[in-house]
Structure 1
Amino acid sequence: MIDATTTDVDVLVIGESLVDITTAGEEAVEMPGGGPANVALGLGRQGIAVALLTRLGTDPRGSAITRHLERSGVWVLAESFGAGPTSTAHAHILDDGSARYEFSIDWTASRERLPVRPRTIHAGSVAAFLPPGDEVVLEQIDRLAPEIVTFDPNIRPALVGDLDRARVRFEEFARRSTVLKLSDEDAGFLYPGLDETGVLTTIGRLGPRLVAITRGARGAVLAAEGRVVEVPGRRVVVADTIGAGDTFMASLVADYPALHDGDLTEQTLRDLAVRAVDAAAITVSRPGADLPWAVELSVAS
């Protein structure tokens, strides 16, 4: 673990960590998870200097998550630990490999001044919508004032509550964001009645420079500076889809900073999308949120 002084890091991820309890048939398996924690994991495995502000209990599950993240190079901030049990998500794997979730989540985030100076802050998922921690995430972004903010709402309808409130909160994050990724299901929840073009236009007007919509097996679309690029999905044997969107997001978070001061051409957008789709294909080919390492991404490219 990095010495807890004020330290420059490439990325600070803020959001929930939890234990994924995956049930396929009669068998239940526990694995560390949570969308933001998965993004941090993926960044650490790519050699990115990444810190994580999350919420963990001082229980065996919290310890298991911490060890799992630290083995992949993630600095789990001391401010992440508190009383109460570590959160869980019970994922029931369906016949097509998709997952249906049941959550037991407590999201409280530290308001303390953090010992990091990040170039990028990534936020999203339950942590962006669930009180009382959602307000704290915004406070930390505003306090730390990073050069780049990335955001993935990763909507869980059972947890975000009223649609109007969820949309307001989403748009507060979108206005602070440089790069914003959402799934086609997220888009349908937040903006029912709008087609994909309408969603991209609406979100783009809020301020993000780059907006991505993932389409599951059908690939993804990226939009930036008036350019729109679509890429297909990859044909793979799917073990399950846990962590696919987080892998796509981690790829964007890792690759975008090198492009921040340049022109986002159609070829640049295509390269970003292809790399992210290829990374997600690796994750879905194996069980759980087992995001790829740098060497695997090098082979894939």
Structure 2
Amino acid sequence: MLDRFDLLVIGECVADIVRSPDAADRVHPGGSPANVAYGLARLGHGATLLTQLGADENGRLIRDHLTGAGVDVRTDGSAAPTPSAVVALDGTGRAAYTFEITWTLGAVSLDRAPQHLHTGSIAAVMEPGAATVVAAVESLRTGATVSYDPNVRPALMGDHEAAVRRAERCVALSDVVKASDEDLEWLYPGQDPVKAAERWLATGPAVVLVTRGGDGACAVLPGGPVTVDALPVEVVDTVGAGDAFMSGTLHALAAHGLLGASGRERLRAVDRATMRDVLRHAAASAAVTVGRAGANPPDGTELDAALSRM
């Protein structure tokens, strides 16, 4: 496991206002990068989150949520209100999002260089803050491995061609990329998700992970894909499932010594059995999350219990 503060996440926090039929609204701390940082802390890792939070009720809720799990929250001092999203759930628990968000992240100095950097989602596409995110990745990637999750939100992506270029730039800077089949369908309509992932793999990453919800996931490697089934679970909602998959992935990669500059070459030569174990951890983490309300990833004990059922 990496030492405390060696895992840095850069990205947005969002107050998820969860709205479902015949139920009162519920407010959950969210935001894809924030969820990943929270999931890593729940699994016992030291995680620093570089983000923006307003001095409002939602900002206080999110900060307390993150720091309560052990996340070191760093902000740029922006006075902008905390971003929010209305999360509408259908009868199956599938989520649709409507956002009220600005992202103007400025440069923040860090007192310690990370061994691994994770980013993605709104933070990597919405200007002017996205420029700060990409500059941080370019600056830190020599001494740190990098992971990226596009976590596509069509309403916030802007021009499609420009969004694809931004995503591909982040992919090329990364060692580990995770995307859902829905992300890839939006970016490359009508194309097979695994084929799209294979093209991404050729541009720089060591591995590209493709999630398929209840149909499991695969890791695209130079030697071909490795697959894992989803763990059967009664779905409460899908909020934060992909983020729990990502934190489970990073947790397992760290355990195998595949993160950090010293682990980069081992990651590029990772064997299929090790990657299957990483996928098992990721899928189990996601399964715990969809089995309860909100972006609520597992701690180590809960993850071990889920793994025992796979």
Q: TM-score, normalised by structure 1?
A: 0.94
**Which residue, 38, 47, 50 being the options, matches 1:50?**
47
5+ residue gaps, structure 1: 1-6
Between the aligned partners of 1:233 and 1:144, the Cα distance in structure 2 is 34
**Which residue, 94, 98, 103 being the options, matches 1:98?**
94
Query: How many residues matched?
Result: 294
Between the aligned partners of 2:214 and 2:81, the Cα distance in structure 1 is 35
Q: Give the residue type in structure 2 aligned to 1:266.
A: R
| Cα RMSD, aligned residues only | 1.4
Between the aligned partners of 2:56 and 2:197, the Cα distance in structure 1 is 42
**Which residue, 75, 94, 107 being the options, matches 1:111?**
107
Give the secondary-structure state (helix, strand or coil) at the position aligned to 2:114: strand
In structure 2, the partner of 1:198 is 195
Q: Give the residue type in structure 2 aligned to 1:75.
A: D
Between the aligned partners of 1:179 and 1:95, the Cα distance in structure 2 is 33
Q: CA deviation at 1:121?
A: 0.5
In structure 1, the partner of 2:278 is 272
**Which residue, 283, 288, 291 being the options, matches 1:285?**
291
Q: CA deviation at 1:8?
A: 6.8
Detail structure 1 runs of 4+ shifted over 4 Å in the superposition: none
Q: Give the residue type in structure 2 aligned to 1:214.
A: T
In structure 2, the partner of 1:4 is none
Between the aligned partners of 1:29 and 1:110, the Cα distance in structure 2 is 31
Between the aligned partners of 1:88 and 1:254, the Cα distance in structure 2 is 28
5+ residue gaps, structure 2: none
Q: Which moved more, 1:26-35 or 1:212-221?
A: 26-35
Q: Check conservation: 2:76, 2:108, Cα contact below 8 A.
A: no
Q: TM-score, normalised by structure 2?
A: 0.91
Q: For the structure 1 residues 67 and 200, does the alpha-carbon distance in structure 2 shift closer, same or farther, using more than 3 Å as the test?
A: same
Q: Check conservation: 1:8, 1:116, Cα contact below 8 A.
A: no
| CA displacement 1:230-261 (0-9 Å, x = unmatched) | 11112111000001000001111222241334
Give the secondary-structure state (helix, strand or coil) at the position aligned to 1:82: coil
Q: How does 1:28-67 map to 2 (within 5 A)?
A: 28-67=25-64
In structure 1, the partner of 2:65 is 68
Q: For the structure 1 residues 166 and 229, does the alpha-carbon distance in structure 2 shift closer, same or farther, using more than 3 Å as the test?
A: same
Q: How does 1:72-91 map to 2 (within 5 A)?
A: 72-77=69-74, 79-91=75-87
Q: Percent identity, aligned pairs only?
A: 40
Q: CA deviation at 1:268?
A: 1.0
Between the aligned partners of 1:180 and 1:102, the Cα distance in structure 2 is 25
Between the aligned partners of 2:46 and 2:155, the Cα distance in structure 1 is 33
Q: Check conservation: 1:8, 1:117, Cα contact below 8 A.
A: no
Give the secondary-structure state (helix, strand or coil) at the position aligned to 1:117: coil
Q: Give the residue type in structure 1 aligned to 2:124.
A: A
In structure 2, the partner of 1:219 is 216
Q: Give the residue type in structure 2 aligned to 1:236.
A: V
